[in-house]
Structure 1
């Protein structure tokens, strides 16, 4: 369950980051102005649909950061996926997989590494 007060602070940070008012932010994500107002005042909790609208409209917002403050905002975009950035075991698995599936057109699109302290790294191809 999310902490409503902390979620409200993160939502306000997103709104401020994009230089939006609550009403213009509501319009951009396709919800009523009252929805934003009720969430910012902690009267209501955000629905899953509300959160998904934010994530689809603003790709720099990471789900885990928005929900529980873990991760970064704005999200690190276009991190290059390089052998040097991956732990050796992951790179070896990728090579093995590519060797086994040489006729298959699959490729790794994204790798997320979760650490025991709750932080994570996002690697995109």
Structure 2
């Protein structure tokens, strides 16, 4: 069954982490199943079948039949639009609306960036610091103090 679960993940383009998140189970559970440490529990199988109702339960349990239920398409069950559907008038209309929205968002972002660039930059300068003295400590517990010559500054 682990190979069939891996096959589902490959067909759905899901990483083990995303697959676990989709099923709302621990990522470790999927990791253990894929590594062969544990067999899938009934809970995992039920979550796969409830979240992906287009998966054929007989195929998942026994490997017989096809992966998908006949008459069901994995994309239509999820509710995701088919991006390659060009003949549908609504799909073409939605694509045009999305393009217009993207263009207006890009123009808005560009004008916001121009406003940001035109802002003046003010620098906060610190007052100049001068060395007052340098103290060097030696490992025999003695030290020397050096005071810079006031005439050089």
The TM-score with structure 1 as length reference comes to: 0.55
| 2:56 is equivalent to residue 59 of structure 1 | no
Matched, 1:12 2:30: no
> 1:51 deviation in Å?
0.2
Aligned length: 72
Q: Deviations over 1:84-120 (max 9, x none)?
A: xxxxxxxxxxxxxxxxxxxxxxxxxxxxxxxxxxxxx
Per-residue deviation, residues 37-85 of structure 1 (Å, max 9, x unmatched): 000111001111110000000112111101110121122125xxxxxxx
Question: How much is the aligned-residue C-alpha RMSD, in angstroms?
Answer: 1.0
Unaligned runs of 5+ in 2: 73-153
* SS of match in other structure, 2:70: coil
CA contact (8 A) 2:2 2:40 kept: no
Which of residues 3, 11, 15 is equivalent to 1:21? 15
Higher relative contact order (CA closer than 8 Å, sequence separation 6+): 1
Q: Which runs of 5+ in 1 are unaligned?
A: 1-6, 79-125
- Offset, 1:10: 0.6
